[in-house]
Structure 1
């Protein structure tokens, strides 16, 4: 039992990270269906309640069995580290050109829920799979706009900070160190990564490597799979979701504000995790140009370092910056 990813020599060199707004939309929709996931997301649930009531998510929920197959064509793995939701939905809509494959993908998902294939919605999807692709993609687009897009800067900052953290673990300790810290259901042995879960899936990566995607909404699960020709993918809970929906840490210490100025001190204190200019501006309620100027000054003073992730530049505190915000002396 379990999902097994079998690595060859080439696969060890072709593991990569990505952030997917379409995946977060899918998992946000699934979170509305799964009360066990609500514990970390109650503030978000309160904020989107009215918007969610305006959506008919039943067609998507019908294809989300508690156990079993989810249609691969609805979740194509992103082909780059920082794709847009428009690019991802275009790939979903492209599946309409292959109606027979879509019908089989839908059938495999529907049979995992008793009676789903015989329901009016299920029969309609199976009768016209090309039309179903378009309608499901449109519904995902509506869900993105209503449930995720207003909160995307905050979510993206969390996901990009996770990628930066785990990329460093990979560089420092290799795959064994990386997988050891991703999720308790993961086991790395020899050249095989196993996910402990019901069912069986065994796939040789065959030189494609493994795509790793952090997710805010997938908690408490880790998800893996995809049949050929899709790239093998592992989705795991991002670090820091417990504080995802909390406000920023409050006013900066008075002594730090006198040293740096109130605004710059609050920017420095808000960088508890690496973040982009846009994410910080959204978090602090400031104009991006204002935050950019503060970041440049803090960077020039040796309190921040920056690293590029795709199209985003992430800032994080140096040991000196951490010492100033926490009141502890930096390590020599």
Structure 2
């Protein structure tokens, strides 16, 4: 059983981040263990045809320094060999799918921030993963390395991961707190192309708007929807504006982006069409 001990200052310094470097390393490990990552089999089948780099034993991924770091920015902080191999794997296997992966991670962040606002810090922390539990001032999990990490007042970064099969603690570094990586929600939907909109719904809304409504059953950004449908972001925005004006989707801003989700009316319409 491993744990993280919080002080009052640490709880006030919780933050969220997305780490493309971690996702790149975790994706490589997923390809090496398809049985343990069955949700990613549609992607793994394609990735198996790509040359896989051999990474140094004991490669330590640094904790992300900022919430929305770029891959190259994180790679520059990686100590030791393996950087060029990771860059090649990122370009070939992860970057082509990054808009979709990132959209799933951002949807998880939106859910956690709402949960934080509604239920408080402790409830949000224990719901990150079924194996996490809060005992007084300590967050515990049998998945964490044995022992205890005592935070020094700098807080903790929480990072959802599409490819992580369990919780992982990344060590901090000067100016950067440790990072708890946890499996993101709804990863099982990541590689689905989305069910085709029914003919009746397509006749009612138009095939493009019907497809966009189908894809907003989980919170999605304009960029993510454009990547999934092949439409331009401008075209997606125009169609979403119509869906929003008719009450079929709602938009909620998180940081610099707006997440669109089917409203109760929109979900009812989808259910009836199905």
* TM-score, with length taken from structure 1: 0.76
Q: Which has the higher helix share?
A: 1
Distance 1:137 1:227 in 2: 19
**Which residue is 1:325 aligned to?**
270
What is the total number of aligned residue pairs between the two structures?
272
Deviation per CA, 1:142-173: give whole Å up to 9, x if none.
11001100111111111111111111111111
Q: 1:286 aligns with which of 231, 243, 249?
A: 231
Q: 1:239 aligns with which of 185, 189, 200?
A: 185
Q: Structure 1 stretches of 5 or more lacking a match?
A: 64-69, 96-132
Q: Determine if the alignment matches structure 1 residue 50 to structure 2 residue 49.
A: yes
Distance 2:159 2:123 in 1: 17
* Aligned pairs (5 A) from 1:78-227: 78-92=64-78, 95=79, 133=80, 135-197=81-143, 199-219=145-165, 221-226=166-171
Q: Structure 2 stretches of 5 or more lacking a match?
A: none
Residues 250, 261 of structure 2: 8 Å contact kept: yes
Q: Determine if the alignment matches structure 1 residue 271 to structure 2 residue 229.
A: no
**Which residue is 1:67 aligned to?**
none
* TM-score, with length taken from structure 2: 0.91
Distance 2:218 2:240 in 1: 14
Distance 1:157 1:317 in 2: 16
Distance 2:144 2:262 in 1: 42
Q: Residue 257 and residue 36 in structure 1: after superposition, are their counterparts in 2 closer, same or farther (change >3 A)?
A: closer
Residues 248, 284 of structure 1: 8 Å contact kept: no
How far did residue 227 of structure 1 move?
5.2
Distance 1:32 1:201 in 2: 30
Residue 50 of structure 1 aligns to a residue whose secondary structure is coil
How far did residue 223 of structure 1 move?
0.9
Q: Which has the larger radius of gyration?
A: 1
Deviation beyond 6 Å, 4+ runs, structure 1: none
How far did residue 225 of structure 1 move?
4.4
How far did residue 214 of structure 1 move?
0.7
Distance 1:291 1:226 in 2: 40
How far did residue 24 of structure 1 move?
0.4
Residues 212, 235 of structure 1: 8 Å contact kept: yes
Superposition RMSD in Å: 2.0
